Amino acid sequence: MARMRDEIGAVDKEAPESVALVYPSPYRVGMSSLGYQTIYRSINDSNGRAAHRAFLPDDVGAWRQSRVPLLTYEKLRPVSDYPVIAFSVAYEAELAGMIETLELSGLAPLAQHRSPQDPFVLVGGPLTFSNPLPLAPFADGVLMGEADQSIHDVLGVVFGSASKADALRVLADHPHVFVPSLHGDVLPPIDKAEDATLPAFSQVITPHTELRNMFLIEPERGCHRGCTYCVMRRSTNDGMRIVKQERVLSLIPDHAKRVGLVGAATTDHPQIVDIVHALAESGREVGLSSLRADRLTDDLVSALARGGHRILTTASDGSSQRMRDAIQRRTSEAQLRQAAMLARRHGMKRLKLYVMVGLPGETDDDIDELVELGKELSSTIPLSLGVAPFVAKRNTPLDGYPFAGIPLVESRLRRLRRGVRGRVDVRATSARWAWVEYVLAQGGRAEGLAVLDAVRAGGRFSDWKGAFEALPPDRRRRSLVRPGDRLGRAS
C-alpha cells in the first residue's frame, strides 16, 4: 500500500492479543491525531499485544460498492476478525464515521444487534471529555478521558474474560469506563494519566496528512485558563501539566525535520521560547498550536520565524471586547494589534485569527467591532479570519446555552463579510453543520440513534435535520427544536 511505504515508524507486529485501532475519519485526519498515535504506540509497546490501524475510507461510497470488508493497514486483515475494535472519536460528527466503519466491516452498528462472538467495541478519544452519550447505543465500553494508562486495564479485562458479558460486568466497576448496557446514562468521571506518561508524541511520520511529515509532540497537557466555553479549561484534570524542555527535546528523533508542538496552551509553557529556539537552531521547521496573543513576545515570534513560520495564528474568540470579557477570554485589542505588528516585523506573510459568532448575548454591534478591528489589522499585515459558530459543550460553564440559530449565524456572517470585503479573507464553518454538532453536543442516546437514520438516509444535511426533527420531544435529551423556529433560534 503506497501510504505505508511512505511512512516512517509504522509497527508491523504480530501478537496473541490484537486490536483493530480504528479512526472514524480518513487517514489524513486520523494520522494527525496525537492521541490516536499515542495509543497505537502504547498498545504495540506492551507484551503480547499488537495494534493495527484502520480508517474511514476516503471514498466511502466506492468502498461500499467494492464489497471489500474494511481492512487494517498493517495486516490487510478484516477489522471484524479482531477480538477488539478500539475507536478514537474526536468530534460529534465522527459518530457517522464510526457507524460507517462498523457497517463496512460487516458488523451491526448497534451494540444490541451484535452477537457475543462479535468483536468488543471500545471507544475513547477527546469526545469523552464532553459528551459521549450519543455513542452509547453503538459502544460496548467507553473509556472516559485520558486513556494513556487505562487502555491497558481495559484490554487486560477484555482479553482475560471468558465472554463479552463477563468483561462488561468487570469493566462496569472500573472508575473511568462507561458501560452503556449497565450504566444507563450515568457517566463516570474522566481519567487523568500520570505525569510520568507524558508527553504524547508521534509514532508514525507520513507525508499524507495536512501536517505533512511533521513529528508532533505535546510539551504540556491541559490549560490553566478559564474560558467559559472550553472543555479543556483549568477545572479539567487539574489544569496544565508541563513537560520539561530536556525531556521534550530528547524525544525528537534525528530524522524529524518538521516538529509540531501541540497542546491546549503551548505558549503558556514556561520554556516554550527556549524549546522553539533549540529546534530552529538544529535546522528544523517548527509549528506551534494554540498561540495565545498575550504570550507573543518579540523573542518568541522571532524564534518562530526562524523555525519557518510564515503565518502567525492566534485567537480572539469573542467578536468584541464585550464578548471576550463575557466568556473570560483574556485577550485584548491591544494584544491583537501587537500580534499583527510582530508578525510583520518578523517577515510573516499573514496573521490568522480565530473568532466565534453566535455567542450568548452577541449583537450586530459586536460584529461591527470585529469589522473595524479586522480592517485595522489588515492595514498592518494581510489578515484571515477563521470563523466558527458557537456550540455549547457539556462540562463547561456555558453548557446548556442554546444554539444561536442557523438564520442568525448566517446573517452575522454576511454582515462580517460585507464589512471587511476586499480587505480580509473570511473562512467560516457552516452554520448548518454547527447546528448538527450542537444537537449531538447536548444530546443523548436518542440523538445518537438519529445519526444512524441520517447516515442510512444518505448523510446530507437534510437527512440529519430530518432525523433530529423526527425525534419525539420526550425522547430528546434537551428541547432542541422549538415551535416557530425549527432550527432552534436563540432567545
- 233 part of the interface to ligand SF4, by CB under 6 A: yes
| 427-446 residues labelled b (16+ CB within 10 A) or e (exposed) | ebbbbbebbbbbbbbbbbbb
Nearest to ligand SF4 of 230, 276 (CB atom): 230
In this complex, which beta carbon is closest to ligand SF4, that of residue 179 or of residue 242? 242
Closest C-alpha among 221, 223, 127 to residue 178: 127
- Containing 350, the helix (H) or strand (E) segment is strand 350-357
User: What residues contact residue 243 under an 8 Å CB cut-off, 6+ apart?
Assistant: 198, 199, 218, 219, 220
Provide, rounded to whole angstroms, the least separation between the CB of residue 230 and ligand SF4.
3
Q: How far is the CB of 90 from ligand SF4 (least distance, A)?
A: 15
Stretch of 129-137, 190-198, 224-232, 391-399 lying at the interface with ligand SF4 (CB under 6 A): 224-232
- The verdict on 355 binding ligand SF4 (CB under 6 A) reads no
Q: Which residue has the cell 496544565?
A: 240
**Looking at beta carbons only, is 265 or 441 nearer to ligand SF4?**
265
Please pick, from the candidates 84, 98, 243, 265, the single residue that binds ligand SF4 as defined by CB under 6 A: 265
Alpha helices in 7-149 (DSSP H): 27-30, 34-45, 60-66, 94-104
- For residues 188 and 83, what is the distance between their CA atoms, to the nearest angstrom? 25
**Nearest residue (CB) to ligand SF4, 203 versus 266:** 266
- Of the pair 223, 434, the CB lying nearest ligand SF4 is at 223
Using alpha carbons, select from 77, 87, 146, 76 the residue that is nearest to residue 111. 87
Contact with ligand SF4 (CB under 6 A) among 232, 242, 303, 304: 232
CB 314 → ligand SF4: shortest distance, Å? Answer: 11
Residue 227 binding ligand SF4, by CB under 6 A: yes
Question: Which is it for strands 177-178 and 141-143: parallel, antiparallel or unpaired?
Answer: antiparallel
Smallest separation, CB 243 to ligand SF4 (Å): 17
Residue 59 has a CB neighbour count (10 Å cut-off) of: 11
H/E stretch holding 87: strand 84-88
184: Cα separation from own chain's centroid: 26
Window contacting ligand SF4 (CB under 6 A); options: 116-124, 199-207, 219-227, 417-425? 219-227
- Residue 327 binds ligand SF4 (CB under 6 A): no
- 230 interacts with ligand SF4 by CB under 6 A: yes
Of 280 and 434, nearer to ligand SF4 (C-beta) is 434
Residues ≥6 apart with Cβ < 8 Å to 59? none
Which of the stretches 65-73, 167-175, 221-229, 357-365 binds ligand SF4 when contact is defined by CB under 6 A? 221-229
Q: Is 291 in the site for ligand SF4 (CB under 6 A)?
A: no
- Beta-carbon contacts of 454 under 8 Å, excluding residues fewer than 6 positions away, are 96, 463, 464, 466, 467, 468
Q: Is 223 in the site for ligand SF4 (CB under 6 A)?
A: yes
Chain residues binding ligand SF4 by CB under 6 A are 223, 225, 227, 230, 232-233, 264-265
